[in-house]
Chain A
Amino acid sequence: MDQNGRAVVIVGGGQAGARTAKSLRAIGYDGALTLIGAENHSPYERPDLSKACLLDAAAMPPSVIDAAFCTEQRIALITARQACAIDRQQRDVLLDDGTQHPYDRLVLATGCKPRRLSLAGLDTRRVFYLRTLDDARALRPRLQPGSSIVIVGGGFIGLEVAAGAQALGCQVSVLEAAPVLLPRLGSTIASEKVLDHHRRAGIDIRLDTRIAYVDGTRLVLSTGAEAAGHAVDDGIHTSECGETWDGALRAAGDGPRHFNPLLQRHLRLESWQNANLQPEAVARTIMGERVAYAEIPWLWSDQGDLNLQAAGAPAQVDMTVQRGGDSTGVSIFQFACGALVGGITINRGKDMPVIRRLLRQAQPIDDPEALADDSKPLRAFLRAGAAS
């Protein structure tokens, strides 16, 4: 690609957008590079917002790139500005301050936004959404000992906030519309263990429950997320390299529904791993090189003293094998038609590096039941020479 006079504009100042900018410079893109973020902060990683940033007023989430890096790398970082229109014919992005930013390649990394709760009579001063550092800083001082917190949505982030609020001495209730916690894990064992853990810690978790009315309690809303901007079948469809139907447009991060060549299907992932690595493939396509983003999906959640990790994103599961017990933590191996399709660890993260390798391995596991034998090292199930 001729870089003279070229311009790449990235809309979205989160982890995926910033990682795209960083990757572009790392692989030698030398043209103009503009990164636009709506928040008044340099790009940072979000996982701490529902954990450390709620427990400690001074906590700063890890930075992805800062102003000094942008200056050194000639990245025009524009913060506290929203893109309001994209002219795909003119290849131009219009910001809310009226400035226009022409592009040759545009990367959408706008992430997700929380679903808004719409309830008659709701006192919006008592309602908090959690997506940004400013959101976390607004919420934190409200998590006072003895205060009643209702969290709408028992997903990863909702449960992380619940555990944090509980640790700060709040009375915490979690409302979950589904009949089980974390149904997308595809494991009733895991769902029940997580439920049991939080209930024993004193968190009031109500399944199959929605808000009927509000009566003076404070609310934290974690009602799942939806892709921002383009509601196209739950996210813009992209190729395994992050390309879209528009040759000048790429997408990365939580928003797009990308093709995963290992799983042979499209999926949208809200995870650190995805925001971290997918941008590298997107950056390469901008340089004219197609390298697929092909990772086994992996995510984790720290909910107080519960560490939960899941790999594989199985679409269906017909058999599970459990390893370990309550004192040593539990790993759950998920199979479909004889093939390992997913793995979950609950306070047993030491198994996860090997589970992720097993999931990449083409050969089936000979004796799945033997995974339950804690005395047999998990590494023994790896085939020599298996793909890393």
Chain B
Amino acid sequence: MSETITILVATMSGTAEMVAETVAERIEEAGLNARILRMEKLKEPAVALGKGGRWIVCSSTYGTGDVPDNGKDLYAALDSERPDLSALRYGVIALGDSVYPNTFCFGGKKFDALLSSLGAVRIGERLEHDARGPDYPEDLAAAWTDTWLELVGDVA
């Protein structure tokens, strides 16, 4: 249980990064190590993710269903290189705005679909947050993280 859990962040306005800080705090309060990494900073993503371990993707959604700019290269690299990610266990926090009902939370959903198509195993439910809803994203993410840590601990 000593390996670091990495939270990969794709963000436009910064909300996903703020949420990731809360998630990291929760992970560390549970006695584990966490690091936050903006997606464009992950070098050789196919290799890094191919090594497996526990990761969390925290992504907002841009415009009508796009991955944020800083996540586009990572998405394209995995999509074209198609690495075997069967050793990867991951969770997804997807931020969206119901003003775009047809593409709600597509940023996070696209990463989820891509990772699972490469053999990675999602742990727990995907968290979907609506910017128009009454809840703060970091509050939902904190509760989600506690559940996710319990689940991922069982399968690690």
A348 to B62 Cα, complex, angstroms: 18
Which of the 9-residue segments A129-137, A229-237, A350-358 touches chain B?
A350-358
Contact A300 B13 (CB under 8 A): yes
Contact of A351 among B14, B99, B134, B137 (CB under 8 A): B14
Interface flags for A291-307 (1: CB within 8 Å of B; 0: not) read 00000000010000001
B-side contacts of A45, CB under 8 Å: 63
A353 to B138 Cα, complex, angstroms: 10
Nearest-Cβ distance from residue A381 to partner chain B, whole angstroms: 14
Contact B64 A63 (CB under 8 A): yes
Interface residues of A in 313-352 (CB under 8 A from B): 345, 348-352
B-side contacts of A354, CB under 8 Å: 18
Contact B21 A350 (CB under 8 A): yes
Contact A350 B134 (CB under 8 A): no
B59 interfacial contact with A, CB 8 Å:
no
A150 to B62 Cα, complex, angstroms: 30
A45 to B134 Cα, complex, angstroms: 25
Contact A276 B99 (CB under 8 A): yes
Contact B63 A348 (CB under 8 A): no
Contact B63 A309 (CB under 8 A): no
Give the residue name and chain of the B residue nearest to A277 (CB): B99
A202 interfacial contact with B, CB 8 Å:
no
A348 to B137 Cα, complex, angstroms: 18
Contact A350 B64 (CB under 8 A): no
A197 interfacial contact with B, CB 8 Å:
no
B-side contacts of A349, CB under 8 Å: 11-15, 17
The range of chain B's interface size is: 10 to 19
Q: Tell me what chain A mostly uses at the interface: helix, strand, loop, or mixed.
A: mixed
Contact A388 B136 (CB under 8 A): yes
With A45-B63, A48-B63 already in contact, the answer to whether A309 and B18 are too (CB < 8 A) is: no
Number of residue pairs across A and B with beta carbons under 8 Å? 42
A-side contacts of B21, CB under 8 Å: 350, 377
A62 interfacial contact with B, CB 8 Å:
yes
Give the residue name and chain of the A residue nearest to B21 (CB): A350
A126 interfacial contact with B, CB 8 Å:
no
With A45-B63, A62-B63, A63-B64 already in contact, the answer to whether A352 and B134 are too (CB < 8 A) is: no
Nearest-Cβ distance from residue A388 to partner chain B, whole angstroms: 7
A184 interfacial contact with B, CB 8 Å:
no
Nearest-Cβ distance from residue B102 to partner chain A, whole angstroms: 9
Contact A309 B64 (CB under 8 A): no
With A48-B63, A62-B63, A350-B18 already in contact, the answer to whether A309 and B136 are too (CB < 8 A) is: no
Interface flags for B3-20 (1: CB within 8 Å of A; 0: not) read 000000001111101100
B-side contacts of A61, CB under 8 Å: 63
B-side contacts of A62, CB under 8 Å: 62-64, 66
A349 to B66 Cα, complex, angstroms: 19
A-side contacts of B63, CB under 8 Å: 45, 48, 61-62
Give the residue name and chain of the B residue nearest to A63 (CB): B64
Nearest-Cβ distance from residue A312 to partner chain B, whole angstroms: 16
Contact A309 B14 (CB under 8 A): yes
Interface residues of A in 193-215 (CB under 8 A from B): none
Which residue, of B11, B18, B66, has the highest number of chain A Cβ atoms within 10 A? B18
Which residue, of A61, A309, A348, A352, has the highest number of chain B Cβ atoms within 10 A? A352
Contact A350 B99 (CB under 8 A): no
A379 interfacial contact with B, CB 8 Å:
yes
A388 to B11 Cα, complex, angstroms: 21
A-side contacts of B136, CB under 8 Å: 388
Contact of B13 among A48, A276, A352, A388 (CB under 8 A): A352
With A45-B63, A62-B63, A63-B64 already in contact, the answer to whether A350 and B138 are too (CB < 8 A) is: no
A289 to B128 Cα, complex, angstroms: 31
Which residue, of B13, B17, B137, B138, has the highest number of chain A Cβ atoms within 10 A? B13
Interface flags for A158-197 (1: CB within 8 Å of B; 0: not) read 0000000000000000000000000000000000000000
Contact A388 B14 (CB under 8 A): no
A258 to B43 Cα, complex, angstroms: 48
Interface residues of A in 32-51 (CB under 8 A from B): 45, 48
Contact A351 B13 (CB under 8 A): no
Give the residue name and chain of the B residue nearest to A309 (CB): B13
B-side contacts of A309, CB under 8 Å: 13-14
A-side contacts of B64, CB under 8 Å: 62-63
Give the residue name and chain of the B residue nearest to A23 (CB): B99
A-side contacts of B15, CB under 8 Å: 349-350, 352-353
Q: Can you report 16 A-B residue pairs in the complex whose CB atoms are below 8 A from each other?
A: A48-B63, A61-B63, A62-B62, A62-B66, A309-B13, A309-B14, A348-B14, A349-B13, A349-B15, A349-B17, A352-B14, A352-B15, A353-B15, A353-B18, A353-B137, A379-B138
Contacts beyond the supplied A350-B18, A353-B13: 8 A-B pairs with Cβ under 8 Å: A48-B63, A62-B62, A63-B64, A300-B13, A309-B13, A350-B21, A352-B13, A353-B14
- Please name the 5 residue pairs, one residue from A and one from B, whose CB atoms are nearest each other, closest first: A349-B14, A62-B63, A350-B17, A350-B18, A350-B14
